[in-house]
Amino acid sequence: MAAVAELSFLLFALINNIHAEERIIIANESDSFTYSLPEEADSCLISRFVGEEMLVLWNTSALWSQNSTAPEDLKQRLSVVSRDNISSYMIQNLTHSDSGQYQEKCWGNVTYERNITIIVCSMINRRKHIQVTGGETVDLPCEGAADNLDIQWLKSDSEYEDEIWTRVFGDSVTSVMDDVEGRSQEVKTSSGLRIYNLTLTRIKYYNCLLMNQQQCVSSHPVELDLPFELILHTVGETAVLQCPAAEFTDNQPPVWKKFSGTSYNSEVGKNYSLVLSSLQLNHSNFYSCQIYNHVQWYHLVVCPKSGPPAVELFSEGDNVTFRCRGWEEGRRPHWFIKSNQTEDRFLYLYDSTSHLKSRLNISKDDGLLILSNVSLEDTGEYWCVVYGPDTQCVSSSRTVLKSREPSGMDFTLYTVRSSLLPGLLVILCVVVVAVNQRTRRGEQRPAQTDS
């Protein structure tokens, strides 16, 4: 298991008399949960629902007083940290008994109220990534589902590491739900989640909880990754990003945005093409073009200028080793390929859809990439991009992989030349022999004397 992760949630802009809203926090057993006092609130009252009854757990302004209503077991696991005049309350060593619905009421300059459901699971599995495209039907698996366990599907729009979840289906009876992301339906035979006509404008997270009555056995998170195209350039060049929608009007032009902070909220253009000239390293970013319901994503990577490419020759079946220039220990190289097979687009070699993945081996100790059983389809440019701690490109290098054997039209010409060459050599030899013989006869003929 990973190190104990502190689950925290971020409080957004506070508005007077906010209506209560349920948010779901998923925690691992023995982990901790942190509640942060809102900046503009003087104190808060934390309560818990037990059936229809609401029990007051603690008042932040009188937590340690003798009249505190906080349960003794909770007090022993509760710690308070103050930073920048904001207090945070951490409940440590969570157990299944901490699962339930809590209510937070805060007052001061604002009135704040929110319902939070904490679900403590025995196991939280590694997040599964699924790459999707808009308009398709997607089946999300619920791994480990069994007939004797109940299933709960959750979703999150959060772009933070610690997501706050909501229920896909509003109640236990409904198993079909329509929303802006498409039509969701639980597949009874597999407990999976099927989403029809998927529409995505941001990364989406789902989570399948396996429940034994009211106790969470395991959590199975799934991330829907939006497809994006990698654009690789060097400093000083010009990048042109194309919005794929060919038709648009002045009333609804495409909108270009780039990643800023935690979301794509920085608008950078409204034309069919986004032109970025005289590129600098800080132009590296994620960009999106949205028109109607279609979104195209790009990842622009700008690297320092590099030297000329290296050339590797191969015969079919060989093993080829690529060296990453500029690599140094502690930095992991990222390898990409650009070839006719990829329509001159850069593709990440370790992508799950790459036809090369099963034949690749990356050495972390010396930055080498080894490609085994090479074929003609593997020809192209192999790029190594090295990222620094701030995710900016610090160096790049490329290797052109070429076959020793000619192919295509060159192969045809090579074959013709190869077949004609022996005949030409025979003819040349005959000519040379004939010339030599004629020359010898001329030398042997007696010279004529003058009369």
Q: Which pLDDT tens digit goes with each residue over 27-77? A: 999 898 888 777 777 788 888 888 778 888 888 877 777 667 778 888 888
pLDDT in tens, 317-371: 999 999 888 777 657 778 888 888 777 788 888 765 567 878 888 776 677 888 9
**Per-residue pLDDT tens for 128-162?**
888 777 667 888 888 777 666 788 888 887 644 45
**Which architecture does CATH list for 6-122?**
Sandwich (2.60)
Comparing CA positions, the residue from 60, 80, 76 lying closest to residue 68 is 60
Closest by alpha carbon to 69, among 78, 59, 77?
A: 59
Asked whether 104 and 89 are in contact (CB, 8 A), the reply is: no
Give residue 248's pLDDT.
Answer: 58
Whether the Cβ atoms of residue 359 and residue 350 lie closer than 8 Å to each other: no
Residue with tokens 């290098």: 397
Residue 26 Cα to chain centre, angstroms: 22
Higher pLDDT among residues 327 and 297, named by residue = 297
Integer Cα distance of 417 and 158 in angstroms: 65
Per-residue pLDDT band at 283 (split at 50, 70, 90):
very high
Cα–Cα distance, 359 to 320 (Å, whole number): 11
- Cβ atoms of residues 102 and 119 within 8 Å: no
Q: What is the 3-state secondary structure (H, E, C) of 370-420?
A: EECCCCHHHCEEEEEEEECCCCCEEEEEEEEEEECCCCHHHHHHHHHHHHH
Give the three-state DSSP class for 233. Answer: strand
Distance CA 301, CA 303 (A): 6
Cα distance between residue 7 and residue 28, in whole Å: 9
Residue 187 clears pLDDT 50, i.e. is over it:
yes
Domain(s) labelled CATH 2.60.40.10 in the chain stretch across 6-122, 125-225, 228-303, 310-403
Nearest residue to 306 via CA among 381, 249, 378: 381
Question: Would you tell me which CATH number, out of the four given (3.30.559.10, 3.40.50.1860, 2.60.40.10, 3.90.280.10), belongs to the domain 310-403?
Answer: 2.60.40.10
Question: What percentage of the chain has pLDDT greater than the value 70?
Answer: 72
299-317: burial string, b at 16+ Cβ within 10 Å, e else: bbbbbeeeeeeeebebeee
For residues 202 and 262, what is the distance between their CA atoms, to the nearest angstrom? Answer: 11
The two structure tokens encoding residue 168: 């896909």
Q: For 245-261, how does the pLDDT look when each residue is reduced to its tens digit (9 = 90+)? A: 655 556 677 888 887 65
Class of domain 125-225: mainly beta
Q: Which residues pair with 88 in a beta bridge?
A: 36, 81
Distance CA 198, CA 173 (A): 23
At 171, is the pLDDT very low, low, confident or very high (cuts 50, 70, 90)?
low
The DSSP bridge pattern shows strands 32-36 and 6-8 to be parallel
Q: Worst-scoring range by mean pLDDT, 275-284, 352-361, 372-381?
A: 352-361
Domain 228-303 has CATH 2.60.40.10: yes
- In angstroms, the CA 109 to CA 99 distance is 31
Q: Which residue(s) pair with 107 in the sheet?
A: 43
Locus of tokens 């991330």: 223
Taking the C-alpha atoms of residue 185 and residue 308, their distance in angstroms, rounded to an integer, is 54
DSSP class of 37 = P
CA-nearest of 310, 322, 326 to 388 is 326
Three-state DSSP class for 283?
helix
Query: Dihedral, CA atoms, 373, 374, 378, 384, nearest 10 degrees?
Result: 90
